[in-house]
Amino acid sequence: MSQLAIILARVLQAIPTIFGIVVVTFLLTRALPGDPAAYFAGASATPESIAEIRARLGLDQPLPLQFVDYVRDLASGDLGQSISTGQPVATELLRRLPASLELTLFALLLSVGVAVPLGVLAAVRQDSWIDQLCRFVVTAGVSLPTFFTGLLLVYVFYFLLGWAPAPLGRLDMLHIPPPQVTGFLVIDGLIAREWGTAWSAFKQLLLPGITLALFTLAPIARMTRAAMLQALASEYLRTARAAGLSSGRVLMVYAFRNAMLPVVTTLGMVFSFTLGANVLVEKVFAWPGIGSFAIEALVVSDYAAVQGFVLSMAVLFVLLNLAIDTLYTLIDPRVRIEG
């Protein structure tokens, strides 16, 4: 099967998944305790005004009807209105998603840049000091919660040393955001040639990025080390050594490329769970991402916002898996056949 056909098949396979997610999130949000009408009406509302608001939000309708309305809106690209901010959910998500993506991508770039070489070295020099270091970093990475490392970094680098800017969002007060192209402030700043803005955005990104990177480092380094060890013990590596290939070539072309296969899979998993789970980091650094948006929406039973969040995460997840699968077919020729 051609690569294109595999990718197409993957997209088709995603449709039932996304529909299932639509149904489940709809039902789950309805099953949650809390009444959005009561929240929206405020503390001094009378039962009549609550009922009126409920009718306005369409919440007095039977569930199947609500669902049909919801799906019809979805089909026309309308994710509904957030009752807590009063904005359309789609606008809200589009504004906040780039912030989360920028943070997550930066953190992953950092952690891959550190974890992969660390894992490779730990495997090549098994039981050496670098292997011990790898073990230490991995253990620390999984056992220290992100809000703790985040606070610690803020304390040391902002409060004590004063190297880092105040942990207050994506850009300090002195700069205005550059015109939006990608939604990533650093890149947009560079595109607009506003060097100061880009630099300031980068400085804001650094601490939360490192916090998240420390957390995602662990699974990637672990998997790299394990996959490298397996590749190093393989029979094809023995053949390569017996053919006298230089150790650099044996390591990079023969061992590393094979070891990358499970690492790419892990990377996909890590990416998707960080994107949804970096709420704590966003809270600590006042980062206006979708994680904190979703939590706030959930607390007040803001149905449309929660549904919109879950749905957009699902679509992102599908796209991400597609990217991973495509990457996989490029690295591993065997996948092309199995389809």
Classify residue 181 by its DSSP letter: S
Residue 165 DSSP label: P
Smallest distance, Å, CB 244 to other proteins?
Answer: 3
Q: Identify which of residues 217 and 324 has a Cβ nearer to other proteins in the complex.
A: 324
Cβ 322 to other proteins shortest distance, Å: 15
| Backbone Cα Rg of the chain | 24
| 299 is a site residue for other proteins (CB under 8 A) | no
Cα–chain center distance at 54: 34
Residue 238 is a binding residue for other proteins (CB under 8 A): yes
Q: Work out how close the CB of 329 gets to other proteins at its nearest, in angstroms, rounded to a whole number.
A: 11
User: Cα separation of 321 and 254, whole Å?
Assistant: 26
- Judged by CB under 8 A, which stretch of 3-11, 80-88, 92-100, 215-223 contacts other proteins? 3-11
333 near other proteins (CB under 8 A): yes
The least CB distance from residue 137 to other proteins, in Å, is: 23
Stretch of 102-110, 171-179, 247-255, 295-303 contacting other proteins, by CB under 8 A: 247-255
Q: Is 236 in the site for other proteins (CB under 8 A)?
A: yes
CB of 335 to other proteins, least distance (A): 10
Amino acid (one-letter) located at 104: T
When asked if residue 233 is in the footprint of other proteins (CB under 8 A), the reply is: yes
- Identity of the residue, 4 or 160, whose beta carbon is nearer to other proteins in the bound complex: 4
Residue with tokens 């550059």: 178
Both tokens of residue 10?
């993957």
Kindly list the distances between the CA atom of residue 110 and the CA atoms of 147, 205, 337, in Å, as whole numbers in the listed order: 18, 12, 34
Nearer to other proteins, 43 or 337 (CB): 337
Out of 160, 161, 173, 242, which residue is the one contacting other proteins (CB under 8 A)? Answer: 242
- Tell me which of 144, 226, 300, 331 binds other proteins, using CB under 8 A: 331
Nearest distance in Å: CB 221, other proteins: 21
The residue with tokens 């607009």 is 192
Burial 195-204 (b: 16+ CB within 10 A, else e): eebbebbeeb
Task: Say whether residue 129 binds other proteins (CB under 8 A).
Answer: no
Between CA 180 and CA 165 the distance in angstroms is 23
Query: Applying CB under 8 A, does 9 fall inside the site for other proteins?
Result: yes
The pair of three-digit structure tokens given for residue 108, joined into one six-digit string: 């992953």
Q: Are 270 and 219 in contact (CB under 8 A)?
A: yes
176 binds other proteins (CB under 8 A): no
In angstroms, what is the minimal distance from the CB of 20 to other proteins?
Answer: 18
Residue 139: CB atoms within 10 Å:
12
Contact flag: residue 234 with other proteins (CB under 8 A): yes
- What does the buried/exposed string (b/e) look like for 258-278 if buried means 16 or more CB atoms within 10 Å of the residue's CB? bbbbbbbbbbbebbbebbbeb
Instruction: Specify the residue, 20 or 339, whose C-beta has the smaller distance to other proteins.
Output: 339
Write out the DSSP string of 222-249.
Answer: HHHHHHHHHHHTSHHHHHHHHTT--HHH
Is 229 a binding residue for other proteins by CB under 8 A? The answer is no
Strand-pair partners of 88: 81
Rounded CA-CA distance 86/68 in Å is 23
Q: Of 126, 128, 132, 182, which one interacts with other proteins (CB under 8 A)? A: 126
Query: Smallest distance, Å, CB 330 to other proteins?
Result: 10
Stretch that binds other proteins, among 103-111, 132-140, 242-250, 274-282 (CB under 8 A): 242-250
Phi/psi at 88 (5° precision): -65, 140
Interaction site with other proteins (CB under 8 A):
1, 5-6, 8-9, 12, 126, 233-236, 238-247, 249, 253-254, 257-258, 261, 331-334, 337, 339
